[in-house]
Amino acid sequence: MPFKYFGKINFTPYTKVDKFADYLHEGKLMGTQCTKCGERYFPPRADCLACMSDSVEWVEYSGEGTLLSFTKIYIAPKGFEDIAPYILGVVDLKEGGRLISWIKDIPDEEIKMDMPVKVVPRIFEEIEEIKLYYTIEKP
Partner 1 sequence: MAVNIFSKQVRHLKVGIVGIGHGKFGNRSDATVQELAFEPFKQAIEDTKNLRREDIDALVVGSVPEYHMQRSLPGVVAEYVGMNPQSTWLTEAACGSGSAAIRTAYMAIKSGMHDIVAVIGVQKMRELSTEEILALMGRVGDVQWESIFGTTFPGYYALYANRHMHEFGTTKEQMALVAVKNHHYGSMNPNAFFQKEVSLERVICSDDVAFPVNVLDCCANADGAACVIMTNETLAKKFVDTPIWFTGLGSASAQMSVLRRPNLVEIPSAIEAAKQAYVQSGIKASDIQVAEVHDCFTIAEIMAYENLGFCAKGKGGKFIEEKQSYIGGSTPVNVDGGLKAKGHPVGATGVSMTTEIVKQLRGDAGKRQVSGAEIGLTHNVGGIGQYTFVHILRR
Counting contacts by CB under 8 A, is residue 124 touching partner 1? no
Residue among 1, 59, 88, 120 that touches partner 1 (CB under 8 A): 88
- Written in H, E and C, the secondary structure of 45-98 is CCCCCCCCCCCEEEEEECCEEEEEEEEEECCCCCCCHHHCCEEEEEEEECCCCE
Binding window for Zn ion (CB under 5 A); candidates: 4-12, 34-42, 76-84, 103-111:
34-42
Counting contacts by CB under 5 A, is residue 51 touching Zn ion? yes
Binding window for partner 1 (CB under 8 A); candidates: 27-35, 51-59, 84-92, 122-130:
84-92
Counting contacts by CB under 8 A, is residue 98 touching partner 1? yes
70 binds, among Zn ion, partner 1, none (CB under 5 to 8 A by kind): partner 1
Nearest CA to 13 out of 1, 25, 28, 31 is that of 1
* Residues in a beta bridge with 118: 64, 137
Counting contacts by CB under 8 A, is residue 10 touching partner 1? yes
88 binds, among Zn ion, partner 1, none (CB under 5 to 8 A by kind): partner 1
- Is the CB of residue 44 less than 8 Å from the CB of residue 30? yes
- Is the CB of residue 42 less than 8 Å from the CB of residue 97? yes
C-alpha 5/C-alpha 13 separation (Å) is 8
Counting contacts by CB under 8 A, is residue 96 touching partner 1? no
7 binds, among Zn ion, partner 1, none (CB under 5 to 8 A by kind): partner 1
